Amino acid sequence: MRATAVERTQSTNPTLISIVAWMLPGAGHLWQGRVQKGVTFVVTLPVMFAFGLWLDGRLFPFEPSQPLVALAAFASLGNGIPFVIAKLLGFGQGVVTAASYEYGNTFLIVAGLLNMLVVLDAYDIALGRK
Amino acid sequence: MTSHLGLLVLFAVFVSIVFAALMRDEPREQLRFGARLLAGFVGAALVLSWLMYPLPL
């Protein structure tokens, strides 16, 4: 299993794997034969993102005039396609008065940051470091 | 669900799962490491929350 993954890795562009891993959380690991880890990320990160939306969290816009908001937007962008789908469907408007608003924001932001770590891990695997 | 403790535990579960899968390769090691992470997150949150309890808002 691991040998197959290494062979597949050596013939694949690490940058391409990183892009795919960003677009769909866990896809980079699945592509490289790390099925158990890939399935874990495919399930966990989108579910965490969905919980963030359900908790009335906000997908922050990119506002360079407000650095913290821009950072939150950048972190949320780490969710990849789920982020794009949620934006297109109009989710993630955020309900400031909801008791769970800040929790929702935290779930959305941290899900994106965790996926960035997953992307880096997939990149390391592609380079043969792991 | 608006229980602070419930959301805290749920958040800790997600983060523990991802970190365990990232940092350990074998499923048994992942389970053990994830459980320790979860216990650490929840335990630290409870200790910190009780330490802050006497502080005025």
Q: pLDDT, tens digit, for every residue of A65-124? A: 999 999 999 999 999 999 999 999 999 999 999 999 999 999 999 999 999 999 999 999
pLDDT at A127 over 80: yes
Q: For residue A80, which of A52, A39, A108, A122 has the smallest C-alpha distance?
A: A108
pLDDT at A3 over 80: no
CA atoms within a 13 Å half-sphere pointing along the CA-CB vector of A72: 17
Task: Using CB atoms, pick whichever of B10, B15, B27 lies closest to residue A114.
Answer: B15
Q: For residue A50, which of A82, A90, A24 has the smallest C-alpha distance?
A: A82
Min Cα distance A36 → chain B (Å) is 8
Q: For residue A119, which of A3, A47, A36, A31 has the smallest C-alpha distance?
A: A31
Q: What is the ipTM of this complex?
A: 0.90
**Whether A48 and B21 lie within 8 Å, measured CB to CB:** no
Q: What value, to the nearest 5°, has the Cα angle with vertex A48 and ends B37 and A76?
A: 105
Q: What pLDDT, on a 0 to 100 scale, did the predictor assign at position B57?
A: 72
DSSP code for A66: S
How many beta-carbon pairs below 8 A join chains A and B?
40
Reported pTM: 0.91
Pick A108 or A12 by higher pLDDT.
A108
Q: What pLDDT, on a 0 to 100 scale, did the predictor assign at position A1?
A: 47
Min Cα distance B53 → chain A (Å) is 20
Task: Using CB atoms, pick whichever of B15, B18, B27 lies closest to residue A36.
Answer: B27
Q: Does A18 touch chain B (CB under 8 A)?
A: no
